[in-house]
Each structure stands twice: as C-alpha cells, then as structure tokens.
Amino acid sequence: MRRWLATVSISIVSVLGLVACGGGGDGQASQAPAADGGKKQVEVFSWWTGPGEADGLQAMKKIFEQQNPDYTFFDAAVAGGSGDKAKALLASKLQADTPPDTFQGHAGAELQGYIKAGDLEDLTFLYDELKLKDVFPSQLIDQISVDGKIYSVPVNIHRSNVLWYNPAVLKEAGVAAAPKTVEEFIADLEKVKATGKIPLSIGSEWTATHLLENVLLGTLGTDAYNALFKPGADWNSPQVTTALQNFAKIMTYAGDPQDDWQPAAKQVADGEAAFNIMGDWAYGYFHNPPEGGLGKTSKKDFDWAPAPGTEGTYLWLSDSFTLPKGAKNRDGAIAWLKVAAGKEGQDAFNPLKGSIPARKDADQSLYKDYLADALKDWSSNKLAGSIQHGVSVNQPWLAAINEAVGLYIAGKDVKALQQGLADAATSNAQ
C-alpha cells in the first residue's frame, strides 16, 4: 500500500510535470512528426497503450489508412490506466489552444466539462449523415446527448463489474464457485488468505476507485446506486456506511499494489492471486496471443463472473472519440470518426480490446467466449453507470472521489472517507 500514500499530495506536481515534459515515456505524448510523403497527418489522442487496447487501436488505424490514402495516422497515446495522465496532458493542450485532431473520452458525464468550456464541436451532423441513431442503442444516445446535441462517437461498450478469478487457486482454497454476494466474497478472500496466495490483486491508484464502485453497487443494489448521482442524494446514509465498511474489509485482503491493471490481472492468470475486480478489457489481455496479451486459456487459467452482488446489472462505460474545436486537420478527424463509428472499425477493434461494439448491427460471430456473455447481458441486464470511467460523474467530481479514496488508503478512516464522498457530491453534483 505504501506507493499510494503520497498520491494526493503529489497530484498537482504530477499534472505540472506532464504539462512541462516533451517526448515519450509514461504519461507523456510525443510531438507529432511531419507527415510523410505529402500526406496529411491526423493526430489521434488516447490512453490505449497496453496489450489488447493498443492492438485494437492498430486494427482501426489499418482500416483508416486503407480507406483514406491521403491521410497518415499519428498515435498520440499516453500511457496510464483509465486515462488519468492522458486527461491531465489533454487539459494543458486544450488550454493552450493546441488540441489534437481527435481525442478519446468516456461517454457520459466525463465530457460535460469539455462541452461547457466550448472545446468540442457538435457531431449531430455526422450522426445524421451516417444514420448512427439507427444503429446505436437508444439508451446510449440518451446518455451522450446534451440539450439535444451529440459530442462524441462511441466505439465500444465495456463492463466494469467483472470478477476475474483463477479456478485452480479457488479449488486449492476450498472455494467451489465464484461468490455471488459481498458477504460470500469476504469469506472466500479469507479462505484464500489461509493458503498463502494473494486473495485480491490490485493495480495503481485508480483501480481502488474502480473496486469501490463495484462494492457500492454490490452492496446497495442497482436503484440505490444510481440514485447516488441524482440531486439531493444522501452519501451519509447507513446503507452507504455499510458499503464503505465492506470496501474497507475487502481492501485488507489486497496484495501489494501493482503499477497498473495489467500486472495485477497477470497475478491472477499466473496463479499468484485468486481474484481481481477489473473491467472486461482484461479479457483481451488474458486471451490474446503472447505478442499482444498473455495467451491464457479461459475456464482453465482464468474465469469470470459478475462482481459480487451485481449479477443482473451491467455497470457500463463507453470509449468514444470527439472533434475538438480548432483541430489542425478537421477533415482528417472526421474521417477517423467515421472509421470509429463504422461496423468494420468496431468489429476490428472490439474483439482485440475485450469489449463489445456500440453498434447493434455488429457481426456477432466475432464475439465469443466472455464477449458472447457480455453481448447477451448488455441486451437484458439493468444498467448502472461507472464512476471511475466517466458515466456517472464529471471530472471534478471524480477527482474529489479519488482524493477521498487516496486519503482513506493513507489513513484507513471509513468515517472520513464517507464524509469526503458526501462533500464531493455536494460540491460537484451535475
């Protein structure tokens, strides 16, 4: 836990460092080189640098350059899970009026700040031209619309509430099946602890908030969870207290924090840890061949279930791309958005990324194993929006939640955590 202790105090310094630094490396975006052979360059800004996600991005890049021979794709991806470092650098670029041609953002409340600041173009014209309202789910269109306008193109749907586990480690601990409730989960963590294996693997700072949203949903239920993000919600209720006590108990079983979500997931696949709660992008990492993943076998090296207490609910998020005002290559950005929105682009990207398509007309034969389960659940489950991944809270609210979680990790004070979350809601509720 030690590497998290300084998270809150260094956060401002980290952002300044990202703004000041130039070339590559973690948390930094390379400057766009000159376009080659007279082609116009399109700068695509994202945080897709890890196995699975980077492979999916490259698959879309190939389609983009095939369909648009006059353009060349420049990958301005910034390393760092969940995009926290990328968003800090992006803010500096937007403030300096040097936006990328297009940038990744989570569909939902996360984009509100950019919209209110006037940083994004309305993409309703593209939805009309491509008839996207006919091929995207209506609830997704509703979520990404602001005053009747749409500002991003979703490329996928992800599920946050997935419990990944190693079947052999559970068998060794005497755990017959994946836990269905939070109480069963805590009991199973204790059983694994007795074997000497890591009960719960965990990654960098943001993965603690990811875990928190899953425990909140698993303890409160779908309706009470969704109500937390409505005006006047009571974050100081006894029910939230119980959820936070569960979170605190679960965190006592966490192993040493890893640098990001991938090495934490790898601990499960390698049999070092029993459980990991992470979004379904982990599937691509587990499943993809060794050159882009771990090359593991599902149901043998790893398995999955809904996070404890969340069966029947899809805790969702969506990656999307935008059109910033003042983009150097607006036409090239629109060409990229057409690939991201298109059936071919989404079917090339999502099986590698470990996500399902935002489109309703995708080739379902491409989505097997975990992804087939996800497609079925997306069409039938209740929906709840992710906190960490931008659906339910805007960026200032998320920053305040992450600060409260960071302070909890440093001090282990549940009462202070609850007050911090309540204060974050009061100050930042949409």
DSSP string covering 145-210: EETTEE--EE--BEES-EEEE-HHHHHHTT--S---SHHHHHHHHHHHHTTTSEEE---SHHHHHH
381, 100 Cβ separation under 8 angstroms: no
Under 8 Å CB-to-CB from 156, ≥6 apart: which residues? 318, 319, 346, 349, 350, 353, 355, 356, 357, 358
Cα separation values, 295 from 169, 290, 301, 355, Å: 19, 5, 10, 17
pLDDT of residue 21: 31
Choose which CATH entry (3.40.190.10, 3.90.1300.10, 3.30.70.270, 3.30.720.110) describes domain 162-315+388-428.
3.40.190.10
Closest CA to 331 of 119, 42, 52, 56: 42
Three-state DSSP string of 371-388:
HHHHHHHHHHCEEEECCC
Sequence spans of domains, the chain? 42-157+317-385, 162-315+388-428
* Nearest by Cα to 94 from 325, 310, 411: 325
DSSP SS3 for 131: coil
Biggest CA pair distance of the chain: 64
Structure tokens at 329: 């290559």
3-state secondary structure 38-76: CCEEEEEECCCCCCCHHHHHHHHHHHHHHHCCCEEEEEC
What was the pLDDT predicted at 13?
Answer: 34
Decide: residue 310, CB within 10 A, 0-12 exposed, 13-18 middle, 19+ buried. Answer: buried
Residue 377 neighbours by CB distance under 10 Å: 16
**DSSP secondary structure, 196-240, as one string:** TSEEE---SHHHHHHHHHHHHHHHH-HHHHHHTTSTT--TTSHHH
Instruction: Please tell me whether residue 314 adopts helix, strand or coil conformation.
Output: strand
Coil/strand/helix, residue 360? coil
Decide if 42-157+317-385 and 162-315+388-428 have a common fold.
Answer: yes
pLDDT tens digits, 62-114: 999 999 999 999 999 998 766 888 999 999 999 999 999 999 999 989 999 99
Q: What residue ranges of the chain have pLDDT lower than 70?
A: 1-37, 81-82, 430
Enumerate residues 6+ apart whose C-beta is below 8 A from 105: 111, 114, 152, 319, 320, 321, 322, 390
Instruction: Quote the DSSP letter at residue 7.
Output: H
3-state secondary structure 250-313: HHCCECCCCCCHHHHHHHHHCCCEEEEECCCHHHHHHHCCCCCCCCCCECCCEEEEECCCCCCE
Contact of 123 with 405, CB cutoff 8 Å = no
pLDDT at 33: 54
Q: pLDDT digits over 163-181, tens only? A: 999 999 999 999 999 999 9
User: What span, in angstroms and rounded, lies between the C-alpha atoms of 332 and 338?
Assistant: 10
pTM, to two decimals: 0.86
Q: Hey, which CATH number is domain 42-157+317-385, 3.40.50.11540, 3.40.190.10, 2.20.25.10, 3.20.20.80?
A: 3.40.190.10
